[in-house]
Amino acid sequence: MTQISHTQVAHTQVAIIGAGPAGLLLSHILFQAGVDSVILETRSREAVESTIRAGVLEQGTVELMRSLGVGARMDKEGACHEGFELRFAGRSVRIDLSALTGKTITVYPQHEVIKDLIAARLAHGGAIHFEVSATEIHDISGDTPYVTYRHREENHQLQCDFIAGCDGFHGVARRAIPAAKLRSYEHVYPFGWLGILCHAAPSSHELIYAQHEQGFALVSTRSPEVQRMYLQCDPHDDINTWSDDRIWASLRERLATHDGWEPKPGPIFQKNIVAMRSFVCETMQHGRLFLAGDAAHIVPPTGAKGLNLAAGDVSLLGRGIIAFYKGGATQALSSYSEVALRRVWQAQRFSWWMTSMMHRFPNADAFQQRMQIAELDTVSSSRAASQALAEQYVGLPFA
């Protein structure tokens, strides 16, 4: 590293903006093929590793983790689920993923995935710079793009061949694309999720998705001692109006079945409200800049597709970059947006459909509510409909 005008200058083959699942997975994929990368992250390592997100991994994501040599703890501590429950009108119907598709999903929290990826990347000498600031992307239309940023009170310039924007919806990567070139779509849902973590025994060994006239509810698990549950709410609600007693009463009401089943309560030690939206930026590449993960698309959490879409993106992008360095091939990189978007829009459709089927919409009339029940009845009574749901839920093959 040399110093020019008080700016530390370095070179790598791929500059990766963001140490979330997309950026970290991409760095591992490239490392396996001998392609150098540097990851730049605005947050501290502690902040990155403590961000709580959903933890449903499609089989394709699980297999990718294993192939990268970072799946040992996932296989030991993650819970392999062969199905999940749909609850509506006091009934409970199991969707047998394994029987319908031959595949499963694994429940393993995203922050644990992050921990595994960071630890393995650093153990192999990978470069991850945490707590960088003033990050800017330059010259992406030419052959010599670069990134400038501040780290440890010094100015840095990272020269590279490609830039991977994996820095989330609010990151700098997408904003580096000229506004005239951007093409994006967004849908905001009129409700949010109130999520809790509680100390309790598992209420169920598989996920439960419940549709109720008072709103949606979801039962998940994080460990034998910690459970994750969600309630549909107004996204503008004050979390302080949701007392523990109110939360448990709502969960019991929305999850009730004719046989008297109730969730197992316990002390709530974390609760928050998140809004829900769908977003797709169809301009996933411009020049030498490529977007992946939340930088390019957001899905409502009902379909559990966020992390899995990121894994699909970087699996495709990684292959394209590797092909370039191995023999100069550019076709895979040129078609990255086109190919990735087919999977992205399929996941958006599924997430929108699950969200629309399971949630109570403001001002929905009695007819619309009955249509939701009819849709759930069709899904649960028709093998073809159940199989279509199951195929989407376990995940489409990575392109």
Q: Enumerate the active-site residues.
A: 81, 209, 301, 305, 393
* CA 310 to chain CA centroid, nearest Å: 6
**DSSP conformation class of 397:** P
In the block, which residue shows the tokens 């390592």? Answer: 45
Do 276 and 355 meet the contact criterion of CB atoms below 8 Å apart?
yes
Q: Which strands, in side-by-side order, build the sheet including 83-88?
A: 91-96, 83-88, 208-210, 217-221, 226-233, 184-199, 268-281, 297-298
The Cα-based distances of 340 to 43, 45, 226, 332, 387 in angstroms read 28, 29, 35, 11, 24
C-alpha of 33 from chain center: 25
**Residues whose CB falls within 8 Å of the CB of residue 93, separated by 6 or more in sequence, listed in order:** 85, 86, 87, 376, 380
B/e letters for 165-178, b = 16+ CB within 10 Å, e = fewer, are: bbbbeebbbbebbe
CB < 8 Å & 24+ apart, contacts of 381-389: 383/100, 386/95, 386/96, 386/100, 387/100, 387/101, 389/95
Instruction: Evaluate whether 146 touches 260 at the Cβ level (below 8 Å).
Output: no
Helical packing angle, 366-381 and 336-358, nearest 10°:
110
